[in-house]
Chains A and B, each alone.
Chain A
Amino acid sequence: MGDGPPSLWEWFGRNWDTGRADSIRTLLTDHVTMSLVPVVLALVVALPLGLACARWRWLYQPTSGLMNVVYALPSLPVFMLMISVTGLSQTTVIVPLAFYGVAVLIPAVVDGLDSVPDHVRQSAVAMGFTPLRRLLAVELPIAAPVVLAGLRVVAVSSISLVSVGALIGQGGLGGLFTRAYQNPFMPPVIVGIVLVVALALVADGLLVLAQRLLTPWVRARKEAAS
């Protein structure tokens, strides 16, 4: 150990698990929670809304218009606004991120259902599917690839956006960036960027894997087309 500033690796080792709230490990766990809970919430909310928009077309325009407005709101003021409702908790970050996710997923669900060919839907009706069973066994599985593509966008952008929460004290790994304001010391910034990107890649990779397992027929279609 010299007298100068610690190296990147040294700094990482020393701060990984200090047992304090600002140890890298805790920040990482917080980051995962605050970015993935909104993704799950967004999916749960967007599915029924998307189904409703696909079923009653007149709903789609106003809903997607509203959702675009939500998506356009800058995250920082929204977080600040949320503080008055939920205080300085993780919820303050989770709720707005869930809204952003819904904004992306509603069109994905609608587009996914639109991708069900009419002759497939017709034949499902003619075979004697009840509407609910047709939705669950035919329409949603066929819509799945489009919905999963939307989910990938939501997961990655959510992981990236959590960092902004650091400005209200709830940013997971984003906390490493705000420190650099007070003290021009680079290792935390680099570690933060690397971990956020790695987290995004892992999440995306898992979703791609899920897509392969859930929709093996998509590959069959691609092979048949080539």
Chain B
Amino acid sequence: MITFDAVTKRYPDGTVAVDDLSFEAPTGEITVLVGPSGCGKTTSLRMINRMIDASEGRILLDGVPVQGIDPPTLRRGIGYVIQQAGLFPHRKIVDNIATVPYLLGWDRKKARTRAMELLERVGLDPALAGRYPFQLSGGQQQRVGVARALAADPPVLLMDEPFSAVDPIVRTSLQDELLRLQSELNKTIVFVTHDIDEAIKLGDQVAVLRVGGRLAQLADPKTLLAEPADDFVREFLGHDRGIRRLQFVSTEGLRLRTDLTVPEGSEGGSPEPWLLVVDGDGRPVGWRAAARPGELEPYGTFVRGRDSMRAALDAALLSPSGCSVAVDEQGKVVGVATREALDEALAEAVHG
């Protein structure tokens, strides 16, 4: 657990970067610090590993004040990932990953074996081990950055806008990868970003900071979206808060109809205006309108239980039928959520 106890950072010229900040980053969870530029989020992060020293207050690592620990020793026990990955251009990927083990005095072979393990763990081809950072794409470099931070298996990971320099598609996959890794590793992560969507996606709890380094609100993402503390937080969260809240509503309880599917090739009348055609493996093919039985219309799917209500609603909006197709992890149809069923679930989400 990382504890900020009334921490202030004041520079000699009088600027206050962080003002009387107190919060806890619980063990094994992702705490996201989010806010506009100048809110002191990076400063706060860097005070944890003493790249910047606090002017007042204390920062505790499992109860031990970091101010009392020699900085290089402290830092070797804390993983750190930065925006441009910060890889060493003159070292091969495997040696980049093994940086901290080398600093800790592991023998070369053990350090490299560990590095190779991590290379695979973050989803990279082991063949990249002998390359130099310049030979990798931005997304690959960032994965190497994460692997390097994890090399000595530190309990704490600090991440400073690690995914903001890559394109949106790569960013999404890196975020998913981080969540997958975290589900296996349970590190105590402090993650800094200016992107509220990223904060909501990744954070177990989100600390919204305002300019001048004051804590505006600390809450889990769901509460943050539902009950913003003030106008600053509300404005920072953006306009589609209602829709985004739905990503925390499960599709587990969504009422599904199973009588609206027909096998491919079958014909015949039905009183229903729309029927979902499925192939021999139970996968969706398209919607057939009673009025135009010769044509198939597009459909949208969500994975029941795994995807949120936001995905279910999105899937419904993608189809002229207005219904959304529930599938299992293998992509087989398990049922259809009609507008009525979605309506019920939305009503419940708003009240519950």
Report the separation of the CA atoms of residues A225 and B135 in the bound assembly, to the nearest whole angstrom. Answer: 9
B73 in the interface (beta carbon within 8 A): yes
Min CB gap A55→B, angstroms: 18
Task: Report which of A119, A133, A221 forms a contact with B132, defined as CB distance below 8 A.
Answer: A221
Please name all residues of chain B whose beta carbon is closer than 8 Å to the beta carbon of A128 when the two chains form the complex. 71-77, 100, 103
Does B89 count as interface, using CB distance less than 8 angstroms? yes
- Is there a chain A Cβ closer than 8 Å to B47's Cβ? no
Q: Which residue of A lies closest to B83 (CB)?
A: A119
User: Which residues in B have their C-beta under 8 angstroms from that of A223?
Assistant: 134-135
Q: Which of A127, A144, A217 contacts B75 (CB 8 A)?
A: A127
Query: Which B residues are CB-close (under 8 A) to A144?
Result: 90
8 Å CB contact of B134 from A122, A124, A215, A224: A224
Task: Find the B residue at minimum CB distance from A133.
Answer: B103
CB distance from A22 to the nearest CB of B (A): 47
Question: In the complex the two chains form, is B90's CB within 8 Å of A119's CB?
Answer: no
Provide the residues of chain B in CB contact with A141, threshold 8 Å: 90
B174 partner residues in chain A, CB cutoff 8 A? none
B49 within 8 A of A: yes
Q: In the complex, what residues of A have CB within 8 A of residue B158's CB?
A: 126
Query: Is there a chain B Cβ closer than 8 Å to A125's Cβ?
Result: yes
Whole-angstrom CA separation of A120 from B91 in the bound complex? 12
Question: In the bound complex, what is the Cα–Cα distance between A129 and B131 (angstroms)?
Answer: 23
Q: Which residues of A, 133-177, contact B by the 8 Å Cβ criterion? A: 133, 138, 141-142, 144
In the complex, which residues of chain B have a beta carbon less than 8 angstroms from the beta carbon of A215? 90
Least CB separation from A140: chain B residue:
B90
Contact of B90 among A125, A127, A217, A224 (CB under 8 A): A217
Given contacts A120-B88, A141-B90, A215-B90, contact A125 B134 (CB under 8 A): no
* B4 at interface by CB-CB < 8 Å: no
Structural contact, B100 and A127, CB atoms closer than 8 A: yes
Determine how close the nearest CB of chain B comes to the CB of A118; give it in whole angstroms: 9
Closest chain A residue to B75, Cβ basis = A128
Tell which of A122, A126, A129, A142 touches B89, judged by Cβ atoms closer than 8 Å.
Answer: A142
Q: Are B103 and A220 in contact (CB under 8 A)?
A: no
Query: Can you pick out 25 interface pairs between chain A and chain B where the beta carbons lie within 8 Å of each other?
Result: A117-B89, A119-B83, A119-B84, A119-B85, A120-B87, A120-B89, A123-B80, A123-B85, A123-B87, A125-B51, A125-B75, A126-B86, A127-B99, A127-B100, A128-B72, A129-B72, A142-B89, A216-B132, A217-B89, A217-B90, A217-B132, A220-B134, A221-B89, A221-B134, A224-B132
B-to-A contact residues, CB < 8 Å: 49, 51, 71-77, 80, 82-91, 99-100, 103, 131-132, 134-135, 145, 148, 158
Nearest 4 interchain pairs by C-beta: A123-B86, A128-B76, A128-B75, A126-B80
Beyond the given pairs A122-B86, A127-B75, A221-B132, 10 more chain A to chain B contacts, judged by CB atoms under 8 angstroms and listed by A's residue number, are A119-B85, A120-B88, A123-B82, A123-B85, A126-B51, A127-B80, A127-B100, A128-B77, A142-B88, A217-B91
